[in-house]
Amino acid sequence: MTIADFLRRNAKETPNEVALVEINPQAQTNQRITWKEFSLIESDPNNGAVRTEMTWEEFDKRANRFANLLLSRGVQKGDKIAILLMNCLEWLPVYFGILKTGALAVPLNYRYTSEEIRYCLNLSDASMLVFGPEFIGRVEEICDRMPRIKANFYVGADCPRFAESYDKLVTYCTSRDPAIELNEQDYAAIYFSSGTTGFPKAILHAHEALVHSCRVEQMHHGQTKDDVFLCIPPLYHTGAKMHWFGSLISGGRAVLLKGVKPEWILKAVSEEKCTIVWLLVPWAQDLLDAIDRGDVDPDRYELSQWRLMHIGAQPVPPSLIKRWFEHFPNHQYDTNYGLSESIGPGCVHLGVENPHKVGAIGKAGFGWEVKILNTEHKEVEKGDVGELAVKGPGVMLCYYNDEKATREVLSEDGWLYTGDMAKEDEDGFIYLVDRKKDVIISGGENIYPVQIEDYIRKHNAVKDVAVIGIRDKRLGEIAAAIIEAKEGYSLGEEEMRDFCFGLPRYKRPHKFIFAEVPRNPTGKIEKPKLRKLYAGDSVVAQQIEE
């Protein structure tokens, strides 16, 4: 079985059920747009938001049309087709159209610069690119320097001169399934690492990994056909897509919301009757802050059907979940840990039955094994810190075109070394301590930034915080805290120094920098960017003497 077989099944069994809804609160139009396979765009007379929907049958037909377009251009099994689109209704039909040909889908981060796009296209050996209007300028900059790219397909109105119109071309293609013979061992996709430690690596996955992620998601969260999943994070990332796979395997509806304002989230949950919402930490925090300020009132929305809120992609402050339960006491909660190398979330998860263990990432997920290892790759004693390793059907095949990097993280017997430092408590629950490469060694002591960040977030005026190491002649490194204050609050060094007296002396930051904390689209703090800005810079912040 391949991942595309779930789409075929849904199209056959529930052809007229809605599969996808797109809501764009920022768009304003009174026009109705008709495409050959669907005429489903309408505007909300109350606020102008554009709402579009697509049935399972239309979804499958659209995927088939694009698959047949690719095949007509000579695409063969094993070719690589890149996707550079913002979240939109076309995203998933394009993805599945690629898979139905036997080619590999290669999703690209929408924040990539033109040179990063070119780098990833070259690294993955992509031969075609599908892109949207937001990327015209970036693609135009490099289109003459991409000799491997045989075709640029443009999704949207006003096709640029250097591309071909996807919408026009698929109209003339048959909607019959191309019926290319595939199995679980065939290659399916290349995803890219987040690049938080340097240039992205190309991560190769087979259909088996994608299929397993469907089963993991449904086993963890119990999706049924009646569930409605609100999807806000970018679909290019394994996290959002693999959570959506719970809708794919159950035949349930998913809502793509193009925006993260608290009122938009609550309105979408209310009007679309969403039952499951996956949030990133900043969005959950913004929603709670908006409620506390009185900017939004949950009582004005129909939220009784909302049963599960889960978070992943980064360490989750326990204080945030405590606040969440104060406002939403009837919600189930789960946190999911994973990497793109382990096909996204779920290799470790907390479980909705374990809210008393908030702060932990949980135990091994469905079909997964976990270990915590020392530098010799031997298991550590319970309670000791080591590197988290995972093993299961979702582990990547390799870093594409990078044997050396593959050997560094993938053992011969299938264990993936995650680079995350963790420890296990007496009940077998795993807690993240920090990224292996983020550990600060100060005066011979290992300092784990996440522990300091969790402590500082308890301050009621702190919106976000990141702790990095800065070189120091005497101690080797010292800890610096970059702190972003909540709207309407101000913070100073003396106040934060006093607050941090609750930390052990060696863990207290030596520097405090008050600035925005940058995060990538999946919510991970961009520490390389912060190190570039602040590491070793004695001007930007005054060193606080012990």
Runs of H (alpha helix) within 354-443 = 403-409
pLDDT band for position 295 (cuts 50, 70, 90): very high
Q: How far apart are CA 385 and CA 382, in angstroms?
A: 8
Beta strands in 350-498 (DSSP E): 363-364, 369-373, 386-391, 398-399, 416-424, 430-435, 440-442, 445-447, 462-472, 476-485
Decide if pLDDT at 224 tops 90.
yes
User: Does residue 258 fall inside a structural domain?
Assistant: no
Is residue 211 located within the same domain as residue 125?
yes
The answer to whether 429 touches 357, Cβ cutoff 8 Å, is yes
106 membership: H or E segment, kind and range? strand 104-107
User: Counting Cβ atoms within 10 Å, is residue 126 exposed (0-12), middle (13-18) or buried (19+)?
Assistant: buried
* φ/ψ of residue 41, rounded to 5: -100, 130
pLDDT band for position 313 (cuts 50, 70, 90): low
Return the C-alpha torsion angle 519, 525, 529, 534, nearest 10.
120
Domain count, the chain: 3
Is residue 445 located within the same domain as residue 432?
no
pLDDT band for position 387 (cuts 50, 70, 90): very high
User: Per DSSP, what are the bridge partners of residue 277?
Assistant: 230, 309
pTM: 0.82
User: Per DSSP, what are the bridge partners of residue 82?
Assistant: 106, 129
pLDDT at 524: 75
Q: Which residues contact 452 (CB under 8 A, 6 or more apart)?
A: 467, 479, 481, 503, 507, 509
pLDDT band for position 545 (cuts 50, 70, 90): very low
Q: Which residues contact 329 (CB under 8 A, 6 or more apart)?
A: none
CA dihedral sign of residues 27, 30, 31, 32: positive
Domain boundary, last residue among 221, 252, 275: 221
pLDDT at 529: 84
Lowest mean pLDDT among 99-103, 198-202, 274-278, 390-394: 198-202
Q: For residue 100, what are the CA distances in angstroms to 131, 175, 176, 208, 239?
A: 19, 12, 11, 15, 22
User: Does residue 485 fall inside a structural domain?
Assistant: yes
Is residue 359 located within the same domain as residue 508?
no
498 membership: H or E segment, kind and range? helix 493-499
User: Does residue 244 fall inside a structural domain?
Assistant: no
User: Per DSSP, what are the bridge partners of residue 206?
Assistant: 187
User: Counting Cβ atoms within 10 Å, is residue 297 exposed (0-12), middle (13-18) or buried (19+)?
Assistant: exposed
pLDDT at 197: 46
Q: Which residues contact 63 (CB under 8 A, 6 or more apart)?
A: 4, 7, 92, 93, 94, 96, 97, 100
Q: What is the mean pLDDT of residues 362-391?
A: 94
Domain CATH for 364: 2.30.38.10
Give the closest residue to 431 by CA, choosing from 365, 357, 367, 481: 357
Q: Decide: helix, strand or coil at residue 267.
A: helix
347 membership: H or E segment, kind and range? strand 344-349
Is residue 446 located within the same domain as residue 406?
no
User: Does residue 296 fall inside a structural domain?
Assistant: no
Is residue 187 located within the same domain as residue 52?
yes
Domain CATH for 510: 3.30.300.30
pLDDT band for position 55 (cuts 50, 70, 90): very high
Domain boundary, last residue among 436, 470, 499: 436
User: Does residue 131 fall inside a structural domain?
Assistant: yes
Strand-pair category, 369-373 with 386-391: antiparallel
DSSP code at position 501: G
User: Does residue 293 fall inside a structural domain?
Assistant: no
Is residue 149 located within the same domain as residue 14?
yes
Q: Decide: helix, strand or coil at residue 79.
A: coil
Q: Which residues contact 530 (CB under 8 A, 6 or more apart)?
A: 466, 468, 482, 517, 518
Domain CATH for 185: 3.40.50.12780
pLDDT at 239: 82
Q: For residue 323, what are the CA distances in angstroms to 36, 91, 285, 353, 393?
A: 47, 35, 9, 18, 36
CA 532 to chain centre: 24
What is the per-residue pLDDT across 260-272, written as a single tens digit (0 to 9) for each? 999 999 999 999 9
pLDDT band for position 29 (cuts 50, 70, 90): very low
Helices 91-100, 3-13: axis angle to 10 degrees equals: 110
Strand-pair category, 164-165 with 187-192: unpaired
Is residue 97 located within the same domain as residue 189?
yes
Q: Which residues contact 546 (CB under 8 A, 6 or more apart)?
A: 505, 508, 510
CA dihedral sign of residues 377, 382, 387, 390: positive
Q: How far apart, in Å, do the first and last CA atoms of the chain sit?
A: 61
What are 383's two structure tokens?
């309670």
Is residue 176 located within the same domain as residue 54?
yes
Strand-pair category, 164-165 with 344-349: unpaired
The answer to whether 112 touches 126, Cβ cutoff 8 Å, is no
Residue ranges making up the domain that contains 473 = 439-534
Decide if pLDDT at 200 tops 90.
no
What are 100's two structure tokens?
């139905």
Is residue 429 located within the same domain as residue 525?
no
Is residue 394 located within the same domain as residue 465?
no
What is the per-residue pLDDT across 475-502, written as a single tens digit (0 to 9) for each? 778 899 999 999 889 899 999 999 999 8
Q: How far apart are CA 49 and CA 128, in angstroms?
A: 33
pLDDT band for position 94 (cuts 50, 70, 90): very high
Is residue 385 located within the same domain as residue 496?
no
pLDDT at 443: 64
What is the per-residue pLDDT across 43-54, written as a single tens digit (0 to 9) for each? 444 444 689 999
User: Does residue 421 fall inside a structural domain?
Assistant: yes
Domain boundary, last residue among 377, 408, 436: 436
What are 501's two structure tokens?
């007296």
Q: How far apart are CA 409 and CA 398, in angstroms?
A: 9
User: Does residue 247 fall inside a structural domain?
Assistant: no
Is residue 79 located within the same domain as residue 63?
yes
Higher-confidence residue of 447 and 37: namely 447
Q: Which residues contact 283 (CB under 8 A, 6 or more apart)?
A: 232, 260, 265
Runs of H (alpha helix) within 251-303 = 262-272, 281-293
